Structures are given as structure tokens and as C-alpha cells.
Structure 1
């Protein structure tokens, strides 16, 4: 009886700590993206938007992101080179689980002169143009 009681308490504690860990581990990929972009680009403004919920993925997935990045390092770079720079910084994440990355890359001057509204992404069409 004592063994069963201890076993039940141990399982309850493990379940609670597992739930606690799962809740606190959400956003790991998002935080990694944030840290890498802030460190590499010295961002003036940065938004990381997890759009995974809009797709057919498990709840809590971190597979589809939109990033809004404002950095002085984009000065003089055409849009394609800005996107390549962001993709290079996040190369590992793009190879290991991030399925889609939408990028808005602006200089501080462009950001300051804009309305600062980020357009919503279109609804998922299932990847097959449905």
C-alpha cells in the first residue's frame, strides 16, 4: 500500500513537472530567432510572429513565422540581399523545423516613415494551391 501511494505521488509529480516544462518550453524556436536576429543585426525594432496556428500543425508548433526586422545593417542593401541575410542568420532553424519564414526587412528610416502596420498573412491553402 505504501509503495503504491509513493508510486502514485511520483507519477503525479512527474506529470505536473512535465506539464510545467511543456508550458515553459513553448517559444523556444521563437526565442532563438529573436536572439539571433537581435545579436546579428542590432535590431532597432523586431517582431516575431508565430503563424503556425494558421496551418495544419499540432497545437503549440513553431513551424511558420513572420519576422519584422528593422536594422541599420540593411542600409544600401536591396530587398533580396536583406532577405538573404536574415535567411543566412536563421539557416539552422530553417533546416531543422521552421517550415516557412515571411520577412519584412526595413531600414530605420523606412520604418519611421511607414505606418508601421504589418499586413496579415493569407490563409493557409494546404500547400497544394487548394
Structure 2
């Protein structure tokens, strides 16, 4: 069985033909067992997003990953941009916030 990470990557590559794709498992930042695949950040740059509003992009990705959500994917932070938008952002992606159970967040 393939990991959720690899399945997410495969589906996004096949459906969006991205110029850039990074799938980051951020589960370790949450109160879950080690090796868990429940929380992800996805940075995807594809010109397929041209003429799509942000909510449409997110819906398309969420629909594509419906099976992964049924199998344990819990949270997905999406940065879905066209190549032009990505250049205008100057490659500045905001860090994810910490979970309240994250020891770094709690300063423990």
C-alpha cells in the first residue's frame, strides 16, 4: 500500500501537471502518533489554475483527494497558484501555525 503522501503527490502531478509541487507532511506538529499522515501542506504551482478563483482551486483539489480524506487525511493547507502568481509572491509561503498540542507552541 502506498503512503498517503505518495498518493497525494501522484494525483496532483497527474491532474495538474504542476511546474512546482511540494507535499509536506506536518503531522509531527500535532498530537498524533509518530509516522502518522494526517496533516499536510501542499504548495502547487500550475497554470491549470488560470482563470480559477481560489475557492475553485481548493474544491478541485479536495475533490481529487476525497479518498485520502476517507482514509485518514485530516487537514490540508493549500497554496495553489499559477506561475505568474507565484512569481508575484516572490516565493514567500507563510509557515503553518502550530497545533495547541505542539510542545513548541506551548513553550514546554
TM range (shorter): 0.7 to 0.9
Match of 1:115, SS state, is coil
Contiguous gaps of at least 5 residues in structure 2: 102-108
Aligned residues: 101
Deviations 1:55-84 (A, max 9, x none): 011111100001011111100000000000
Q: Is 1:93 the counterpart of 2:61 in the alignment?
A: no
Query: What's the Cα RMSD here?
Result: 1.4
Partners in 2 of 1:72 and 1:89 — Cα distance?
17
1:61 aligns with 2:36: yes
- CA displacement, residues 20-67 of structure 1 (integer Å, 9 cap, x when unaligned): xxxxx8x81111100000000111110101100000111111000010
Question: What is the aligned partner in structure 1 of residue 105 from structure 2?
Answer: none
How far does residue 113 in structure 1 lie from its aligned partner after superposition? 2.4
Query: Residue 73 of structure 1: which of 40, 44, 48 is its match?
Result: 48
Larger Rg: 1 or 2? 1
Return the offset for 1:114. 2.0
Take 1:123 and 1:109, find their aligned partners in 2: how far apart are those partners?
Answer: 30
Which structure ranks higher in relative contact order (CA pairs < 8 Å, sequence separation ≥ 6)?
2
Query: 1:103 maps to what in 2?
Result: 78
- Structure 1 CA distance for aligned equivalents of residues 70 and 48 of structure 2: 24
Distance 1:32 1:117 in 2: 26
* Matched residue SS, 1:39: helix
In the superposition, the TM-score normalised over structure 2's length comes to 0.88
Which has more helix, going by share of residues?
1
